[in-house]
Amino acid sequence: MNASLMVGMAEYKVTRTSGEVLVALGLGSCIGVCAFDPTARVAGMAHVVLPQSAGHEQSPGKFADTAIPLLIAQMVQQGASPARLRVALAGGAQLFALGGSGPRMEIGARNAAAVQEILERSRIPIIASDVGGKTGRTVHLFTDGRVRVKTIGQGERDLITL
Amino acid sequence: MTTQTLNSMDELALSALKEVGNIGAGNAMTALATMLDQNVDMSVPRVGIIPLSEFALMTGGEETISVGVYMPVEGDAPGHVAFLWPEASALRLAEQLMGLPLGSTDSLDEVACSALTEVGNILASSYLVAIGEMTELNLLSCPPALAYDMTSAILSEVAAAFASMEDQALTITTHIGEAFGAVDGFFLYIPEPGSLKIMLHALQLDI
């Protein structure tokens, strides 16, 4: 039985304890950034809510441009090397698609673009991504690098092993 | 100022907001009862300041499936209104609205979703009209949007609407149900922090 570490909105967590699993429940427009160093076996996850911090200093875990550097820094502290990091992404959907004005239209797509840009700038490869669309996702990152994504329509499936 | 406003609210202000939720939900429930031609019950609203990290878990139904209808509120005191029905309740509600036998459907088609969106629209308008009369503020709901997915994903997308400014939100939650237990859902009202001040001022409770 794996012990779940819940990564709530605007949080980021890192583990290297075998048997633990990082979980971001019910990602809508948010993105679960799953990072893994296969050599050091350090796993980290950020639950990004919005693309740009635009000068906000409170809760840096909320924004792609501030959360990702912090996640990487914490992983390095636990023995990961930035050059070895591999990333998988899940989320960035738009659930409120039918009818009128959903909450902040296109936020999911903007989140995905921001996360991709920051990772590219940091030269960290995105190995797999399951982003966009209209469905919510739950993402699990295990300490062996396995990434599992669950959606309502398609059930649970392995996305990749980082 | 905003986070501070939330934290400095006293008992009197909280009970005033509870009353706001009560009056709004009462009016909305009357509208629902008329639509269904049935009695509808509601709980005393819960007023709470919910941190962003916990928002998606607030109804407890983490990976259950729900239907959510969301509307931004504009006018004198901007905010957000959302309804959340667990899937089974949404199905029963849609069946009643479309005159189908109870229990005859097991998924929501486009027509059912559109009917539920309209219900959300009517309930939100009734809610806001009642609050508007009480506070003499002009509150308008924008066109509704519907989501049919994981409960926590729906709630987190609603939270993303206020997250750019805030790390927590004051949420007025009312649980609604009816005699047969067929329709059982949540009504969320999230005034923006600036709006809280305006609303409390309108109720002559300055904080």
Rounded to a whole number of angstroms, the distance from the CA of A83 to the nearest CA of chain B is 30
* Tokens found for residue B48: 């709470």
Reported as a pLDDT band with limits 50, 70 and 90, residue A97 is low
Cβ pair B58, B169 in contact under 8 A: no
Reported as a pLDDT band with limits 50, 70 and 90, residue A21 is very high
In this predicted complex, what is the ipTM? Answer: 0.87
- The Cα A9–Cα A72 span in angstroms is 18
Rounded to a whole number of angstroms, the distance from the CA of B162 to the nearest CA of chain A is 9
CB contact under 8 A, B56 and A10: no
* Mean pLDDT of all residues in B36-64: 78
Q: Indicate the CATH number of A3-161 among 3.40.30.10, 3.20.20.150, 3.30.450.20, 3.30.1330.200.
A: 3.30.1330.200
* Contacts across the A-B interface (CB distance below 8 Å): 133
Cβ pair A161, A38 in contact under 8 A: no
What is the tens place of the pLDDT at every residue in A57-93?
Answer: 888 999 999 999 999 999 999 999 999 999 999 999 9
Rounded to the nearest angstrom, the gap between the alpha carbon of residue A37 and the centroid of all alpha carbons in its chain is 15
A interface mutation test: which of B3, B53, B158 has the most A CBs within 10 A?
Answer: B53
Highest mean pLDDT among A108-112, B99-103, B158-162, B198-202: A108-112
Residue B24 reports pLDDT greater than 90: no
* Tokens found for residue B38: 């049935």
Q: Which residue of A has its CA nearest to B54?
A: A8
Q: Does A104 touch chain B (CB under 8 A)?
A: yes
What pLDDT score does B62 carry? 66
CB contact under 8 A, A100 and B155: no
Residue A30 annotated among the catalytic residues of the structure: yes
Per the DSSP assignment, residues forming a β-bridge with A4 are A21
The domain limits of chain A are: 3-161
| Segments forming the whole domain that contains residue B71 | 2-202
Rounded to a whole number of angstroms, the distance from the CA of A25 to the nearest CA of chain B is 7
Residue B179 reports pLDDT greater than 60: no
Q: Does A58 touch chain B (CB under 8 A)?
A: yes
- The Cα A42–Cα A52 span in angstroms is 26
Residues of B in contact with A103 (CB under 8 A): 70, 72, 80, 145, 157-158, 160-161
What is the tens place of the pLDDT at every residue in A112-126?
Answer: 999 999 999 999 999
CB contact under 8 A, B70 and A9: no
- pTM recorded for the entire structure: 0.88
What pLDDT score does A73 carry? 97
What pLDDT score does B199 carry? 85
| Total domains present in chain B | 1
Residues of B in contact with A150 (CB under 8 A): 63
User: Is residue B207 one of the residues assigned to a domain?
Assistant: no
Q: Crossing angle, helix B110-135 and helix B87-98, to 10 degrees?
A: 90
What pLDDT score does B1 carry? 37
User: Is residue B132 one of the residues assigned to a domain?
Assistant: yes
Average pLDDT, chain B: 83
Average pLDDT, chain A: 92
Residues written for chain B: 207
CATH of the domain at B162: 3.40.1550.10
